[in-house]
Amino acid sequence: MNTTSRPFPIPVIAQTPGGLPVDDGLEYLSMPRGMDTYQAPSLPEPEELVGHDGARQALHAVLAALRQAAAGEAAAPVSLQGLSADDLALIHQVLGEGEVSAQVLAAPGDLSRPGVLQVQESVFAGVWRVIGDRGDGVLIDHVEAGPIPALLISAAREDARLAPAAMPLPAEASNAQAVLVELAEHRQHWRAGLPAEVVNLSLLPLSALDIGLMDAQIGTGRVLILSRGYGNCRITNAGVPNTWRVVYYNSQDTVILNSVEVCAIPEVACAAPEDLQDSVERLAEVLAWVDGAGA
């Protein structure tokens, strides 16, 4: 998730007559305070559920898809097309909004591929609302269950197929060249199922010129993911295969980690298997109440 590096400040340490430094106290970089945790959705009153069989059926289909995903199986999206505005509002109220959101920008000049798409994780980790317009008048509105919506990975792969050829770097960008060579080696050897290869840019002597040239070489794709768990994390795909910029911020929006990951998609954006299992139990409990209240 398009930043520039900042020089690390070297403090001036006063000296005593004996040559020992004066201890003015240590200053630590402020870390994130507070973490988003599961909060049960604010459920509607029982009388508000009467006559909303469409919403209830869709939610049960989401639970069935979630059970498939928790078992490691691919689950088909649950379409919300054709539901009334009241049913959609009820579904949104039950699902709520979780800590991960994403968007896929339009593919310039190509109506055959999806246009702007918005993704919002629900309070049930691994349950995703996907809304958008393909750009040719076809609307998209469905719920996916799984670690991450498939369209985010497929859009990143499409971007990689259109990656421009690498350009030679100036001699003064030797540090950027070394990082680019390392990333190219990681992309050559990484395969699906292997852990991510992470290059921590925060620990490297990279200038603003180095960062800018790196960004120009690997490019920026159409996928943007924001994770608001422990602090904030911004993820963007590069224009080369299986490459993502991952930047972590503290609660004051200061960059605390700037990295590049070679993987299908960074784990920080995905719902873990145990999250899917927990979501099955929580959503089942909520729907049991919904069914009882709407009967």
> In whole angstroms, what is the distance from residue 139 CA to residue 71 CA?
30
Please state the domain count of the chain.
2
Q: Are the C-beta atoms of residues 183 and 243 closer than 8 Å to each other?
A: yes
Q: Is residue 16 part of a domain?
A: no
Domain containing 122: what range?
42-147+271-295
Question: Consecutive sets of 10 residues in the chain, 295 residues long: mean pLDDT of each?
Answer: 42 41 45 54 68 89 98 95 91 92 80 73 96 74 96 91 71 82 94 95 88 88 88 92 94 88 95 96 91 66
Tell me what pLDDT residue 175 has: 85
Q: Which amino acid is at 97?
A: E
User: Would 5 be classed as within a structural domain?
Assistant: no
How many beta carbons lie within 10 A of that of residue 231, not counting itself?
21
For the beta carbon of residue 211, count every other beta carbon within 10 angstroms.
20
Sheet holding 78-79, edge to edge: 78-79, 139-145, 127-133, 117-121, 100-104, 223-227, 232-237, 243-249, 255-262, 197-200
Whether the pTM exceeds 0.95: the reply is: no
Pairwise CA distance, residues 128 & 77, whole Å: 9
223-280 confidence digits (pLDDT tens) = 999 998 767 999 999 999 999 999 999 878 888 999 999 999 999 999 999 999 999 9
Residue 175 is assigned to a structural domain of this protein: yes
Whether 288 and 257 map to the same domain: the answer is: no
CA dihedral 274, 279, 282, 285 (to 10 degrees): -120
Q: What size, in residues, is the chain? A: 295
What is the average pLDDT value for the chain, to the nearest integer? Answer: 82
22 found inside a domain? no
Q: What is the DSSP string of the chain?
A: ------PPP-----B-TTSPBP------PPPP--B-------PPPHHHHTT-HHHHHHHHHHHHHHHHHHTT-----EE-TT--HHHHHHHHHHH---SEEEEEPPPTT-TTS---EEEEE-SSTTEEEEEEE-SSS-EEEEEEESSS-HHHHHHHHHHHHTPPPP-PPPGGGHHHHHHHHHHHHHHHH--TTSPPEEEEGGGS---HHHHHHHHHHH---SEEEEE-SBSEEEEEE-SSTTEEEEEEE-TT--EEEEEEEESSS-GGGSPPHHHHHHHHHHHHHHHHHHHHHH-
Same-domain pairing of 72 and 206:
no
- pLDDT attached to residue 53: 87
Q: Is residue 207 part of a domain?
A: yes
Q: How far apart are CA 110 and CA 193, in angstroms?
A: 32
The verdict on residue 160 lying in a domain is yes
- Widest distance between CA atoms in the chain: 84
Predicted local confidence at residue 23, as pLDDT? 46
CATH number of residue 127's parent domain: 3.30.1370.140
User: Is the domain of 157 the same as that of 237?
Assistant: yes
Same domain, 181 and 260: yes
Query: In this structure, are 229 and 125 located in the same domain?
Result: no
Nearest to 87 by CA among 54, 120, 130: 54
In the prediction, which pLDDT does 133 show?
75
